[in-house]
Amino acid sequence: MAGMGPPPAVADVRRAVRLALDDLAPGSLVLVACSGGADSLALAAATGFVASRAGLDAGLLTVDHGLQEGSDERAAEVVRLAPALGLVPAEALRVRVGGGGGPEAAARDARYAALSEAAGRLGAAAVLLGHTRDDQAETVLLRLARGSGTRSLAGMPARAGLYRRPLLGLGRRTTVAACEGLGLSPWDDPHNLDPRYTRVRVRERLLPALEEELGPGVAEALARTADLCRDDADALDGWADAAYAEAVVRDPAHDPDRDSDRDSAGDSALSDIGGGAGAVTLAVQGLAELPRAVRLRVLRRAAIAAGAPPGALSAAHVLQADRLVTGWRGQRRVEVPGGVGVVRRYGTLVFARQPASPVS
């Protein structure tokens, strides 16, 4: 009937995309990462519709991980569909998946590397990802099981650099219904049903069990938890940034508290780790007065600034460094990843790389 609007699910997805893109200047290029599944296919269709009316250029990227027979042809099918959705240019990106960190992490790393390269090459202002509220709930559960902190429990952000996730406020049922309303046929990746993958077990077993035992709305509640955790983490991170800047000792040689905790263990430990370029020195007194949640963030920043790889720096490492502040008993050096050592000396904590062993 003339004048009738789109099906509700289609309208919901389009509205979410419109809100996600409302800050982009006309003529900007937006790329959709589309696997051909219901979530990303609904996102791709909505982006083509919204972009044409907002004066934006829109294209599509699909990643062929090469992990399944016929994956190249499926990627080609997604590319062939793109012009009908109003998405040009469209490219299939073939990646090589390594083995580090497990198959899920390796595939994710390869995928994001390919998407980032293509976005830079094409001059894209944004890359849209099809993660939904259900994906967010799964992420929160997975991180909760690992004993993660507030920032990790914040889940996936709606925006991170070039990447945007317009559908985090919508459930998977909405994207499936949107595809049905548009006559699109999503591809069901068999990996999404393979119980060897932890996320699949969370999706197919754990979340349904929680819904059955606790009642409906578990995914929505977990997504709300992520939003609340993100607000808290943002506030704590802002406080920690200011506290870090205040705690850094710019000239350790002229620290007025040099004698406050002088001991031979600290002197010998400092000689073991060095203290030159790249070393970070923090005043202990200021650290001790901070709330623990802020202090641990400050110590993590110092370790990373001194050369510790963020991905390898665990909460356990930071807690060991924290004991040099809160449980000082003359301990020797604490070691964290990246060859970085931490010692307490003359009222300060020094984070520095260990000097290279001399060549004999």
Binding site members: 35-40
Spatial separation of the C-alpha atoms in residues 308 and 279, rounded to whole Å: 11
Do you know the residue count of the chain?
A: 360
- Beta partners for residue 344, in sequence order: 349
- Beta partners for residue 64, in sequence order: 94
Where do runs of H (alpha helix) occur along 123-171?
133-145, 150-153
Nearest to 104 by CA among 2, 189, 225, 38: 189
Spatial separation of the C-alpha atoms in residues 98 and 153, rounded to whole Å: 27
Q: Which residues are annotated as a binding site for ATP?
A: 35-40
Where do runs of H (alpha helix) occur along the chain?
8-21, 38-54, 71-81, 103-122, 133-145, 150-153, 172-182, 198-201, 207-214, 218-247, 264-273, 284-288, 292-305, 315-326
Angle at CA of residue 84, ends 82 and 87, nearest 5°: 45
Structure tokens at 234: 């943002």
Residue 61 in contact with residue 127, Cβ under 8 Å?
yes
Distance of CA 93 to the CA centre of its chain: 22
